[in-house]
Structure formats: structure tokens, C-alpha cells
């Protein structure tokens, strides 16, 4: 019990249910509390100087009503008593331990996820008003924290082998109270009962590592599904059926995830090199390994969007411009620069939009997760036949749902984001409906769910066969016609389903032309573009 430095997490509740105070900070009667403490020796034997930061949450999860204050005091370890004074002022004396507080991975990752998921720059003026109110409260109140510290050893620690170092876990029970500096004004801060326990950092590290392993595995699966889809549409005609916007939207999502995990890894790894004097060597090694796992997840996301998805984007773009690709390097370079400028323009503008509106992140995610809609629309407009492989549709749908469901549905996620099962159900239904429509188009036709009255007139590849049969019925001679694909004669006297004719009046066998159109959507004889079947 000589050193109580570390992170503590617990609960607070109003004492006797009394809400009557001059500064009613909280809307709820109970919530969570998080300490970040660092202790150092003093010249007085048995007394340690302690400084840190405390966050009182208005409820269980991060919200705008949270109260964050600095504190300093002493820990008398023979009596196991901690006495702290809370203050909102930024003192030079209280900043000595700020390197430790700001570099704690538990604090950094929670602060990072809360900034991404909930805060917004438009709330800055509200936070300033709240800070000024806290400053006023600090001037008029003497807010104190008095707790009794007791040792606590988890059950799983007892299972460790002999000879291994057992880290001491602490439990704090006490009171936060704020009597007014003037006796006639009574209490200005309602007394709070506090129960906190030192955070099991190893468990927190394991949660973060498991999450990064999940992201890495998901990225690997997405690469496999993308390769399967690229093999399915490896021809010019097959690649032209795929929506360029659909692949581009997924590439932008993976680019954002790459930046997000890389930033989280840098925040965690920064503590390994700035607080060496405050931490034990094994904790620094844990932070380095945590940075490596986040960097690995970011690298896999980088591989997905920069190598595979961008390569697929280029293949789709080339399949739609067969003439331009042969006109020379200057023309191709100019069109390629337009393609890449549009992609990175959307990427950067999306970052600015998310920064300005990231309080509405859950609604923005609905926009990102509508990436199947451009393909559905393209299938209907072009009447495309089987542009996407079913394994790709199902696999990408499931893997794309994993990260948002972990963040917003798992109650024990390491990001400390409040679960929202209704939103998760809505997102799953929204994306699942898109995938169901794509599968319906794959097996039943691109326009199977649209009434025939609303469909445009479709070209019939059997229109000239009827006229040829009329010539035969009148006894007129008909010159033999050869299929230029198989070089065999086309018997137009047979049933119309055995012979097809293009808009440019060229006859082919039905099977020959269908196989040809799976490769190229142009006439084998005159190279004119062909309409979909």
C-alpha cells in the first residue's frame, strides 16, 4: 500500500438523496467516477504527495454533463487515508503530474473515442460556460475528497504461479463534499458517496488487443471476398457492370478506419516514451504491444483500400473506357488524374464534414453504410446480369457490420461508448435489406421487383428471326448465314430461341452470343456496343 498511483474507476451517489445545493451539477442521482492519481514521496515519513484528475460522470456513460476537475493532497499510508482538495484552477504546481495523467492509455483511448463519437465543435461555447461555472464553484466551495484505501486482490491473481510479482489492487471508499466558504450559505455542492477500485489495466489491454485482432481478421476476410469478386468480374464486360461509386465508397470507409486506428495507436504509444519514470517496465511493454496491434489493424485497412480496392476501381474505370485507354499516355494520365482527384477530394471533404458534424456520427454512418444502393440502381438502369458474386455480397455485409456493432452494441467495449441497441438494429436492418435486394437481383433478375408498366422498352434479340421464317414460308431463297463466333451456319428456320440478332442486323447462335456478351458488350462483327439482354 505504499504506492497508489494508477487509474481508479467506480460509482458515486448522492448522500441521503439530497439535491439541494447552490451548484446542482448533475441531473442524475448516481453515476461513474474515474480517478487518475500519481503519488510521490515527501520528507515526512509515511506521507505521500498525491496529485491527479477526477471525472464525475452524470450517469454511466460519457455525456455533456460530466464534471472534470484537478486535485491534490496527501496519502497517509500508515492510516491508509487519502485526503484531496479538488480545484478547477490550472496551477503550475498541479501540472507536475499532468504528463502521467494525459499519457495513461485508459484515459487517452476513452477521451479519443468520446471525442470521435459524441462531442462536437458546436458545443464548445457550452463547455466554456460550464467551465466558468466550475471556476465559480471552486472559488466559493471547499470541495474535498476523503477516502479510506484498502487492499484488494482479485481472485484470478491467486492462481498465478509462485515467484511472479503480484500487483496490488486498491479499493477506495469515501466522501466528496463541498461546504461553502461562508457558514451562513450552507452547502454549495451536494455530498457524494464514492466507491472506486483500481482499474485492471491488463484486462483493459486485453479488450483493446482482442478488438484489434478482430479488425485484422475482418480485413483479411474482406481481402478474400474482394479477390473472389475480382475473379468473378475479370472480363471487360463483367467489370463494367460493377458500380464505381459502390467500390469508391467502401474504399473511403476503409481509409477512414485506417486513419482512426493509426491515431489511436499513436495516442497509446506516446505514453511509452513520455512517462518512463512513472511506470514499471512491463506496463511500458504493454503499451508498445498495444501500439503494434493498432498499427497492424491500420496497416491491414491500408492494404485493403490502397491496393485491392483502388486497383479494382482502376479496372472498372478502364472497362468503361476501352477506346480512351488506347489513345495514348497523355489522355489516360489526364483521365486517371481526374479519377484520383475525385477520390481524394471526397476523402478530404468527408473528414471536414465529419469534424463539423461528428455529434451526428451515427446518422453519418447510415450514409456510409448505404454503399450497396449505387449498385442496386446501376443494376436496374443497365439491366445488368449478375454483376456481384453472392459470396462477396454476404461476406462484405457481415464484415462491415462487425465494427459498428462492437462499438454501439457491446456493453463492455473498451471505448466506453454507451450501447444503443435500437440504432444497431436499424443499421443491421438497413444494410441487410440492401444485401437482400442484391441477392434478389442476382437470382431473379435486375428488374424483378419493378412493375412492367414502369420499365422502359427492352430490345429483343429475336426480332429478325420472325422475318426470316416468313421468307421461308413464302418459298423464297435465303442466303446462308454464318456465326462469326463459332464459324458454323445459323439455321434461322429453327425456333427463334436458337438464333439471336443484334441491333446492327448480325446473326449469331444464342449460346455463342451469350458467352461473348459475358466478355464484351460489343458486336463481334462490327464492334458496335450492344444493349443488355
Kindly tell me if the per-residue pLDDT of 459 is higher than 60.
Answer: yes
The per-residue pLDDT for range 183-213, each reduced to its tens digit, is 555 566 778 899 998 877 777 788 888 999 9
User: If you average pLDDT over residues 257-263, what whole number do you get?
Assistant: 92
- Say how many C-beta atoms besides its own lie within 10 A of residue 388's C-beta: 25
The pLDDT score that the predictor gives to residue 297 is 93
63, 81 contact by CB (below 8 A): no
The pLDDT score that the predictor gives to residue 302 is 94
The pLDDT score that the predictor gives to residue 425 is 96
Predicted confidence band of residue 88 (pLDDT cuts 50, 70, 90): low
Locus of grid cell 449469331: 508
Give the up-direction half-sphere exposure of residue 272: CA atoms within 13 A in the CB hemisphere: 17
The per-residue pLDDT for range 5-50, each reduced to its tens digit, is 888 888 988 876 555 555 556 677 788 888 888 888 888 888 888 9
Sign, CA dihedral 39-41-45-50, equals negative
Kindly tell me if the per-residue pLDDT of 230 is higher than 80.
Answer: yes
215, 304 contact by CB (below 8 A): no
What CATH number was assigned to the domain covering residues 457-532? 3.30.40.10
Q: What is the pTM of this model?
A: 0.68
Kindly tell me if the per-residue pLDDT of 247 is higher than 80.
Answer: yes
143, 176 contact by CB (below 8 A): yes
Locus of grid cell 460556460: 129
Kindly tell me if the per-residue pLDDT of 462 is higher than 50.
Answer: yes
Question: 175, 2, 195, 7: which is closest to 80 by C-alpha?
Answer: 2
Predicted confidence band of residue 366 (pLDDT cuts 50, 70, 90): very high
Higher pLDDT, 59 or 163: 59
Alpha helices in 65-200 (DSSP H): 98-102, 105-117, 124-140
Kindly tell me if the per-residue pLDDT of 326 is higher than 90.
Answer: no
What is the distance between the terminal CA atoms of the chain, rounded to a whole angstrom?
A: 79
Listed in sequence order, the residues at least 6 apart from 263 whose beta carbon sits closer than 8 Å to its beta carbon are 112
- Say how many C-beta atoms besides its own lie within 10 A of residue 425's C-beta: 12
194, 172 contact by CB (below 8 A): yes
242, 388 contact by CB (below 8 A): yes
Give start-end residues of each CATH 3.30.40.10 domain in the chain: 457-532
Q: Are strands 481-482 and 499-501 parallel, antiparallel or unpaired?
A: unpaired
Kindly tell me if the per-residue pLDDT of 406 is higher than 80.
Answer: yes
The pLDDT score that the predictor gives to residue 204 is 76
Question: Cα angle vertex 371, ends 369, 377, to 5°?
Answer: 135
- All 3 cell numbers of residue 6? 494508477
Higher pLDDT, 266 or 349: 349
- All 3 cell numbers of residue 120? 462536437
User: If you average pLDDT over residues 259-278, what whole number do you get?
Assistant: 64
The pLDDT score that the predictor gives to residue 242 is 93
- SS3 category, 147: strand
Fold classified for 1-88+103-109+139-153+167-199: Lipocalin (2.40.128)
Give the up-direction half-sphere exposure of residue 308: CA atoms within 13 A in the CB hemisphere: 22
Locus of grid cell 491496393: 307
Percentage of the chain modeled with pLDDT above 90? 24
Q: What is the CA radius of gyration of the chain?
A: 33
Higher pLDDT, 276 or 257: 257
User: If you average pLDDT over residues 386-399, what whole number do you get?
Assistant: 95
Give start-end residues of each CATH 2.40.128.620 domain in the chain: 1-88+103-109+139-153+167-199
Predicted confidence band of residue 496 (pLDDT cuts 50, 70, 90): low
DSSP letter assigned to residue 93? G
| Distances in whole angstroms, Cα of residue 475 to Cα of each of 44, 469, 495 | 122, 10, 18
The per-residue pLDDT for range 520-531, each reduced to its tens digit, is 878 888 888 888
User: If you average pLDDT over residues 305-323, what whole number do you get?
Assistant: 85
- Say how many C-beta atoms besides its own lie within 10 A of residue 440's C-beta: 14
Amino acid at each position: 500500500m505504499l504506492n497508489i498511483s494508477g487509474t481508479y474507476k467506480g460509482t458515486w451517489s448522492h448522500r441521503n438523496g439530497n439535491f439541494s445545493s447552490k451548484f446542482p451539477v448533475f441531473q442524475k442521482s448516481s453515476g461513474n467516477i474515474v480517478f487518475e492519481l500519481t503519488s510521490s514521496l515527501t520528507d515526512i515519513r509515511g506521507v505521500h504527495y498525491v496529485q491527479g484528475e477526477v471525472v464525475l460522470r452524470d450517469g454511466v456513460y460519457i455525456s455533456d454533463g460530466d464534471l472534470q476537475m484537478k486535485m491534490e493532497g496527501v496519502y497517509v499510508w500508515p492510516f491508509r487515508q487519502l485526503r484531496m482538495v479538488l480545484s478547477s484552477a490550472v496551477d503550475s504546481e498541479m501540472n507536475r503530474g499532468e504528463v502521467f495523467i494525459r499519457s495513461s492509455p485508459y484515459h487517452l483511448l476513452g477521451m479519443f473515442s468520446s471525442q470521435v463519437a459524441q462531442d462536437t465543435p458546436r458545443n464548445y461555447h457550452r463547455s466554456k460556460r460550464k467551465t466558468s461555472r466550475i471556476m465559480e464553484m471552486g472559488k466559493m466551495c471547499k470541495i474535498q475528497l476523503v477516502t479510506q484505501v484498502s487492499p484488494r486482490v482479485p481472485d484470478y491473481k491467486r492462481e498465478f504461479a509462485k515467484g511472479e510479482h503480484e500487483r496490488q489492487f486498491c479499493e477506495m471508499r469515501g466522501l466528496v463534499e463541498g461546504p461553502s466558504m461562508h457558514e451562513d450559505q450552507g452547502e454549495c455542492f451536494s455530498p457524494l458517496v464514492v466507491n472506486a477500485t483500481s482499474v485492471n489495466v491488463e484486462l483493459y489491454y486485453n479488450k483493446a488487443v482482442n478488438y484489434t485482432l478482430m479488425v485484422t481478421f475482418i480485413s483479411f476476410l474482406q481481402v478474400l471476398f474482394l479477390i473472389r469478386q475480382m475473379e468473378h468480374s475479370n472480363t471487360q464486360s463483367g467489370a463494367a457492370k460493377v458500380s464505381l461509386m459502390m467500390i469508391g465508397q467502401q474504399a473511403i470507409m476503409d481509409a477512414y478506419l485506417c486513419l482512426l486506428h493509426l491515431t489511436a495507436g499513436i495516442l497509446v504509444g506516446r505514453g511509452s516514451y513520455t512517462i518512463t519514470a512513472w511506470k514499471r517496465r512491463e506496463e511500458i511493454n504493454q503499451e508498445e504491444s498495444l501500439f503494434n496491434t493498432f498499427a497492424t489493424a491500420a496497416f491491414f485497412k491500408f492494404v485493403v483500400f490502397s491496393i485491392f480496392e483502388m486497383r479494382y476501381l482502376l479496372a472498372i474505370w478502364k472497362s468503361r473506357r476501352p477506346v480512351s485507354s488506347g489513345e495514348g499516355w497523355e489522355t489516360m494520365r489526364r483521365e486517371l488524374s481526374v479519377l484520383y482527384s475525385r477520390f481524394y477530394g471526397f476523402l478530404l471533404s468527408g473528414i471536414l464534414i465529419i469534424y463539423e458534424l461528428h455529434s451526428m456520427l451515427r446518422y453519418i454512418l447510415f450514409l456510409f453504410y448505404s454503399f450497396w444502393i449505387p449498385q442496386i440502381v446501376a443494376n436496374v438502369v443497365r439491366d445488368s446480369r449478375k454483376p456481384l458474386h453472392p459470396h462477396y455480397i454476404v461476406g462484405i455485409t457481415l464484415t462491415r457490420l462487425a465494427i459498428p456493432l462492437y462499438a454501439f452494441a457491446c456493453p463492455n467495449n473498451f471505448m466506453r461508448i454507451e450501447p444503443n441497441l435500437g440504432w444497431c438494429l436499424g443499421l443491421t436492418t438497413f444494410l441487410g435489406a440492401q444485401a437482400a435486394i442484391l441477392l434478389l437481383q442476382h437470382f431473379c433478375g435486375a428488374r424483378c421487383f419493378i412493375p412492367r408498366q414502369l420499365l422502359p422498352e427492352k430490345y429483343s434479340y429475336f426480332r429478325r428471326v420472325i422475318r426470316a421464317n416468313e421468307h421461308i414460308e413464302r418459298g423464297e431463297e435465303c442466303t446462308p448465314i454464318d456465326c462469326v463466333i463459332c464459324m458454323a451456319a445459323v439455321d434461322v428456320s429453327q425456333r427463334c430461341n436458337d438464333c439471336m440478332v443484334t441491333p446492327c442486323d448480325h446473326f449469331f447462335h444464342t449460346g455463342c452470343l451469350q458467352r461473348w456478351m459475358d466478355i464484351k458488350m460489343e458486336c463481334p462483327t462490327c464492334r458496335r456496343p450492344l444493349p443488355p439482354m
